[in-house]
Amino acid sequence: MSQALDEIKIGGLGASRKRVEDSRFIRGKGNYTDDITLPGMLHMEILRSPLAHARIKSIDTSKAWDIPGVHLVLTGEMMATRNLAWMPTLSYDTQAVLATDKVRFQGQEVACVIADDPYIAKDACEAIDVDYEPLPVIVNPRQAVAEGAPVIRDDKESQAGNVIYDWEVGDKAGTDRAFEQADVISKLQLHYPRSHPSPIECCGSIADFNRATSKLTVYMTTQAPHIIRAAVALVAELPEHMIRIISPDIGGGFGNKVPVYPGYVCSILASILLERPVKWIEDKSGNLISTGFARDVYLDGEMALRRDGKILGVRIHTDADHGAFFSDAQPSKFKIGLMHSAFAAYDIPAAHLTARGTYSNKAPGGVAYRCSFRVTEAMFFQERMVQAAADDLGMDQAAFRRMNFVRDEDFPHRTPFGFLLDSGQYAKCLDVGLKAIDYQEFRREQAEARKRGRLLGLGISTMTEPLGAGNSREYDILGIKMFDSADLKVHMTGKAILRTGAKTQGQGHETTWAQIVAHELGIPAEDVVVEEGDTDTAPFGMGTYASRSTPVAGAAVAMVSRKIRAKARRLAAHLLEVSEEDVEWELGRFYVRSAPDRGVTIQECAMAAYSNMPDGMEPGLENTAYYDPPNLTWPFACYIVTVEVDPETGVWDVLKMVAVDDCGVRINPMIVEGQIMGGLTEAYAMANMQFITFDADGNCVGSNYMDYLLPSAWETPGFELHSEVVTPCPHHPIGAKGIGECAAVGGPAAFVNAVLDALSGTGVRNIDMPLLPDRVWEAITYRRDVSGAPPVRSDD
């Protein structure tokens, strides 16, 4: 007689449980870095360079020191005396903390003032006199490698020009052969513009050095607190056990809060020097102009095709503009992130990728913005290229994809670049999408509308994405292996606290991790409190990015719960006075196999762990699991958009968008849908309106919300989501795959493909994002491709 609990009722796997964190967020009771005030706290502001490239002739801080309420003025020269003027980046480069010799991008940190309040500090920044000698400016890779180009990184002895790396992966000879055999060769070139994660909360930190205890506590906006602790220990040469990093509530990260920024370092040094807490909170333009840029790559590819539509091979070349410092957070084996995940969803015999990275006079870029290390660029190019190739062959978009997909029976599938795809049902996802958009009917309407001069278009984007950075054999950041952890303590009354090495920034870990515990142990989710982000209490982990939390930390949550269950089983056997082999488990309860009525609940086992354990058993019911995943997880998505383009104005409207996401088992379907809708909104923004670029002088266009547009509910189209395709991840303990970035990665190509489909027959192959009305209008009117690469043309 089964007494198993109803999993959905206890908030287990598959329950659309309301987010527990929202009860504080929607009441305005969140605890963000800027909400924290410590006794005696001072405030720091940063002086930034107005110029993109200039030699610093002198910095006069005397007037700033004279302002009442100013406690400290930091310059690069002072930082240098402590060996802190430069810091290492996550890609084995160096980055200026405060400029000493030159400024290398507009918005670069030049000096800091620490004062009684932020207003005094800001005024004092303005009182600092910096004498700059302007230098020629580089804003794109073409200029970077031009003859006679100024060397941006003349601080590095080994650096002759502006090239950071030349890198390649894949099979060159095999790919060349594929091209020799091709009936048709299809080509495409485009620029994926710089974009910015732009979380609502800017970056910030409060450093609190206590001389009496020698302990440094830093509250800060970081997605990876343990990595920061290691970085502070190594850079500032402080003992690691005397450093405590606390990431409180984070108002959105989206990748912006992975890197180490100069502001963090300066606030730490200031607190050490002044022996008082020092708070730095970035302002919006500081955030937009200097932190966490993504993309900015030029992609140039070609596809070898057989007449019947079979893809024989692909070549891709990327030119990446990294800005003044190469600071990408990415696995150290790869120079251009996981760009070589491009075309993974398609069964392609041969592929070759070359990549060149260059410096420019722009803020350090290459941070992943809602993308697992350059996957966004890879999938965007893939889906634009696939559309172009189908068009060149005169083939149907959907049929071309279906013909080339990796088939269900071919998993695990090795891509030509070496990734191992775990599982998927690609054709099924596509079919669900085509049905939902009513594909044949739309094509008929489109042809009808054409006759009357109306431009309708349909864009498809289908992709699989590598999510969940680990396994430790292949993935590391600065040599630190990528795994993650969970620590579960079950108290005697059966309530529990769970901590992981991940760090939620809005994804809802406090809700979903408890659901995994509920699924594994039958402890109701509401009885499990989840805590992340404090290095003094959380087990070591690599943090949250690359949608790695569910694939790695989430797996650790399942594994630690299973360890707890194993001990609880021994306690149950003791309580039931039978041997362990005679004990069976059902959700929340152990029972005697031969007498199912005789059982004990997990809560009774918890009580026994503290009050009635068998002789020789270690008391308590706690454990920790470190999880090193065997592979990445490979979710699949099919996004289809229909649009109407106004030929008079170039304005385009979304008629309908459908999204079919297969992320394996969904822990919390409502949260997954929220992740998809948020990602599609960002995808729409990138395709339609977001514009961070640079004029010829290196002035950043888009350092404010008048120029860099965030879509509101008013602009954002409706999305129709489909969840019927579920391919459990074969190597994840609960079958889940990551989802946090899929829609932002796969979405943009669907919009762009739709607009270009509306323009089919005009000869226009490409319009660079964002597809602003004037660009679309120009393409329609002059029947030519439109590039958005900097310098922006208005300043040509």
Query: Mask: binding to ligand CUM, 544-583, rule CB under 6 A, as x and -?
Result: -xx-------------------------------------
Q: Which does 204 bind (CB under 5 to 8 A by kind): ligand MCN, ligand CUM, none?
A: none
In angstroms, give the least distance from the CB of 702 to ligand CUM: 19
Q: Is 253 in the site for ligand CUM (CB under 6 A)?
A: yes
Which sign does the torsion angle of CA 773, 339, 366, 222 carry? positive
What the block records as the tokens of 132 is: 């700059």
Q: Which is nearer to ligand MCN, 603 or 668 (CB)?
A: 668
The upper half-sphere exposure of residue 701, i.e. CA atoms within 13 Å in the direction of its Cβ, equals 17
580 is catalytic: no
Q: Which tokens in the block code for residue 491?
A: 């108290």
Confirm or reject binding of residue 224 to ligand CUM (CB under 6 A): no
Question: Position 149: which residue type?
Answer: A
Choose the one of ligand CUM, ligand MCN, none that binds residue 672, judging by a C-beta under 5 to 8 angstroms depending on kind.
ligand MCN
- The nearest distance, CB 411 to ligand MCN, in angstroms, is 18
Q: In this complex, which beta carbon is closest to ligand CUM, that of residue 372 or of residue 382?
A: 372
SS (H, E, C) 463-487: EECCECCCCCCCCEECCEECCEEEE
The rounded distance, in Å, linking the Cα atoms of 660 and 20 is 27
Binding range to ligand CUM, per CB under 6 A, among 362-370, 453-461, 508-516, 637-645: 362-370
Rounded to whole angstroms, the maximal C-alpha distance in the chain is: 87
Reading the block at residue 348, the tokens are 């392609």
List alpha helices for 642-732, DSSP H.
Answer: 669-688
Q: Single out the segment in contact with ligand CUM by CB under 6 A; choices: 205-213, 363-371, 418-426, 636-644.
A: 363-371
Residue 258 interaction partner, one of ligand MCN, ligand CUM, none, beta carbon < 5-8 Å per kind: ligand CUM
Binding span for ligand CUM by CB under 6 A among 237-245, 253-261, 301-309, 412-420: 253-261
Within a 13 Å sphere around the CA of 592, how many CA atoms are in the beta-carbon half?
11
Which residue, among 642, 644, 643, 652, has the nearest Cα to 773 in the 3D structure?
Answer: 652
The letter for the amino acid at 792 is V
Region of 777 (left: φ > 0; alpha: ψ -120 to 50; beta: rest) is alpha
Q: Which does 466 bind (CB under 5 to 8 A by kind): ligand MCN, ligand CUM, none?
A: none
Show contacts with ligand CUM in window 613-642 (CB under 6 A).
Answer: none
Binds 349, which of ligand CUM, ligand MCN, none (CB < 5 to 8 A, cut-off by type)? none
CA distance 62 to 361: 29
Q: Which one of 95, 108, 223, 330 is the catalytic residue?
A: 223
Alpha-carbon span 375 to 373, nearest angstrom: 6
Is 370 annotated in the active site?
A: yes
Residue 271 binding ligand CUM, by CB under 6 A = no
Residue 505: active-site member: no
**Residue placing its CB nearer to ligand CUM in the complex, 89 or 372:** 372
For residue 549, the partner it binds in ligand MCN, ligand CUM, none, with Cβ less than 5 to 8 A by kind, is ligand MCN
Q: How far apart are the first and last CA of the chain?
A: 79
Q: Which of 28, 7, 87, 12 is nearest to 525 (CA)?
A: 12
Q: Which of 369, 626, 684, 694 binds ligand CUM (CB under 6 A)?
A: 369
The verdict on 255 binding ligand CUM (CB under 6 A) reads yes
User: How many other CB atoms are found less than 10 A from the CB of residue 635?
Assistant: 30
User: 177 an active-site residue?
Assistant: no
- Helix or strand run (H / E) with residue 774: helix 773-782
Binding site for ligand MCN (CB under 6 A): 199, 252-255, 370, 505-509, 512, 544-550, 554, 663-668, 671-672, 675, 678, 736-741
> In angstroms, what is the minimal distance from the CB of 258 to ligand CUM?
6
Whether the upstream peptide bond of residue 239 has omega within 30° of 0, thus cis, is no
List 210's β-bridge partners, or say none: 215
Please check whether residue 465 is in contact with residue 341, taking contact to mean a CB–CB distance below 8 angstroms: yes
**Is 744 among the residues that bind ligand CUM (CB under 6 A)?**
no
507 binds, among ligand CUM, ligand MCN, none (CB under 5 to 8 A by kind): ligand MCN
Position 641, amino acid = V
Q: Catalytic residue positions?
A: 223, 370-371, 741
Residues contributing to the site for ligand CUM (CB under 6 A): 223, 253-255, 258, 368-372, 545-546
